[in-house]
Structure 1
Amino acid sequence: MAKTGSKEKIRKFLLANIGRVIESHEIFAASGGAGQYGRRLRELRDQEGWPILSHHDNSNLKPGQYLLQEKPPPNVVFSPIISARLRAMVLDRNGFTCQMCGLTPGDVDPFTGRKARLHIGHIVDRSHGGKNELSNLRALCSTCNQGAKNITTEKPSLIWLLTQVRRAGIDDQKAVYNWLHNKINSRD
């Protein structure tokens, strides 16, 4: 008789508890005491597309709490995780800035009240054939990566404006500075 692995045990436990906040000690117990249960959760989330939320994704969750929001997609297996090198290339190209809302790491996300964390998101989702290639990847904060903001065109926020200036070259930054300086001084 084949032994059931910890990932399969966690998979069954989560499916039996969809929509319920689960504590890490429950997952540990369900895994059969596997020390790598956190890694197995990440594999389910990142490689199989399971919508497992943690306190990084939902401000109602505390550290050590997880929530499988809904039934995961059937038989979805994504290509290997994005390499550290490719991740660094995407973050550098995108100026360490969320490409949807403009938050940078450490900025307070107005939707969650938590400091923003950047993830690497796919432009064409993996479930629709998108690949782990530089041209198909972008930096996204955790809220935008989960699709919770559903950003539409609106008046630029201070954070968005600052982000654009941060991403610009030094000559453009100087031009913005001079324009603001002249505009403010013309009001005096």
Structure 2
Amino acid sequence: MARRSQQSNPEQLRIQLITLLENFESELKNEDLRSQVIELVPAYRLLYDLGSSLVTENIPAARDRIIYYLKKYPLTIINGEEIMVVAGISEWARRVRELRVQLGWSIITGVSALEMANEGDLEIEGLDVSTMKPDQYMLINTEQDREAAHRWNVANGIRKEKNISVQEKLLKFLRENVGRPVTGEELRYVAGDKSEWARRVRELRTEQGWPIITKQTGMPELPVGTYFLELDRQAPVHDRKIPDSVRGKVLRRDEFTCKSCGWKIDDYNRADPRILELHHKVHHAAGGENTEENLITLCNICHDKLHAEENRKKNGR
């Protein structure tokens, strides 16, 4: 069983460590390798103890020290070596995974951050997340997600399915969680850790019309790095080619509010799971374009009513 680091007075540990290293000078003259290694073991343990003791609160568990450190520096790029020092154990990476999978802390890796950033789904003011390295981490939400363990269990089942494409797995997971936010790390796991996952999610939104939104594309209150399938239905074919940049500008211009009934994105709840859509003032069939001037924000209820009314008039009813 791996030794757990012992929290103590950092200054006392520092002095003990210096003493051990000074005494090791004589051991360097010893040509027996094993003897040298054995003499270094206490120093190795003291260094782990010193790292864990930098967290001055009495937090005996490595996992708890890790989340304490990450919560102290949210939305900050943290090196894996930092976590190793605070954890005081060699198995710190496993503890990070436990925090994410079992306990619902939104910790992303540099790999996932880069993939999301490349698709425009991860933007943090004043921080270039595209520079994150694979062995770096970031806590993107300081609130614990109690439903995460269930979602990871669902994700594990979908990930193992055979004869189904990455995109189909992603859509299945999103539909299993309609009306609930999921993280990029969960989606990456569902995709079998394939780097294409972020692009496939984007295609589901922009090419197939699934109402998957992020903080950048329609729901500002969502945590960064989070995806949200608003409704289990695809948008009409003619609405699927609206560029995200145009969609975002129209939604912001209309203050994320239906211009017909006044429903706002802040009013979303599962009992009334409507979503915001963009309506073409001049339809595609009549030469209308995907421009800000030709688009207006409507909730899906008002959007459907408007098209139904137009169809009745068209058919002379």
> In which range does the TM-score fall when normalised by the shorter chain?
0.3 to 0.5
| TM-score between the two structures when normalised by the length of structure 2 | 0.29
Higher RCO (CA-CA < 8 Å; seq separation 6+): 1
Q: Based on CA coordinates, which of the two structures has the bigger radius of gyration?
A: 2
Which structure dedicates a bigger proportion of its chain to helix?
2
| TM-score between the two structures when normalised by the length of structure 1 | 0.46
